[in-house]
Amino acid sequence: MSCRGHVIIFAMVNRNRRSAVGIWFVWVVLAGWIAGVPPAAATDIVAADHVIVHKAQRKLYLYNGSRLLGEYKVALGLNPVGTKERERDFRTPEGRYFLARRNTRSDYFLSIQVSYPSKLDELKAKKNHWAPGGAIMIHGLPNAPKHPASYYSSSDWTDGCIALSNSDMVEVWLRTQDNIPIDIYP
């Protein structure tokens, strides 16, 4: 990725924090460039074609074929055991879904929508006269945190989403595309 690409991504996710941090970032990129450390080319970043989440391990894995590209610690819904059945159950769904769309203007540091609910999820919820819920995302930390940083790194805290640290979220964002499968296991 070129220096320009880094600056575009930085500006995209930091609209409200540009001043001192933006200047610092530009200096870091320029210092590396001047020191002879070339920025990574877009071809250096291998894209994932499959995402796997193991809820019990609190891990998200990115794969390209059978090659593991990355392993990331995650936080889940406040009630993480079992699959999501309905709106406001605070569970993270289980099953095969797809990455649906991206949002840079989320309440969280970047977000990628998971295609929950599936048709099967909708049928199960309807059978019980429940709303299945939705808006399941992979995202970073809240843009306006309500708790100390230690809370987010040591607890399941989402409404059913899959949360990563902001630095891990940037890597997942860059390595994934829409419409790739995500398998979420217990």
DSSP 138-171: EE-SBSS-SS-HHHHHHS--BSS-EE--HHHHHH
Q: What is the pLDDT of residue 96?
A: 97
Please report, in angstroms and rounded to a whole number, the separation of the first and last CA atoms in the chain: 36
| Dihedral sign for Cα atoms in the order 55, 80, 112, 163 | negative
- Count of CB atoms within 10 A of residue 50's CB? 16
Q: Are 139 and 106 in contact (CB under 8 A)?
A: yes
Cα separation, 87 vs 71, in Å, equals: 29
Name the CATH superfamily for 46-185. L,D-transpeptidase catalytic domain-like (2.40.440.10)
Distances, alpha carbon 181 to alpha carbons 60, 64, 113, in Å: 13, 12, 12
Q: What is the pLDDT of residue 30?
A: 52
Q: What is the pLDDT of residue 45?
A: 82
Q: What is the pLDDT of residue 18?
A: 42
pLDDT tens per residue, the chain (186 residues)? Answer: 444 444 445 445 444 444 444 444 445 455 555 656 555 555 578 999 999 999 999 999 999 999 999 999 999 999 999 999 989 999 999 999 999 999 999 999 999 999 999 999 999 999 999 999 889 999 999 999 999 999 999 999 999 999 999 999 999 999 999 999 999 999
Residue 53: name the closest of 10, 85, 97 by CA: 97
How do the domains of the chain map onto residue ranges? Answer: 3-43, 46-185
Provide, for the chain, the percentages of residues in helix, strand and coil under a 3-state DSSP scheme, each rounded to the nearest 5.
30, 25, 45
For strands 59-64 and 50-54, give the pairing: antiparallel
Q: What is the pLDDT of residue 42?
A: 54
Cα separation, 126 vs 61, in Å, equals: 32
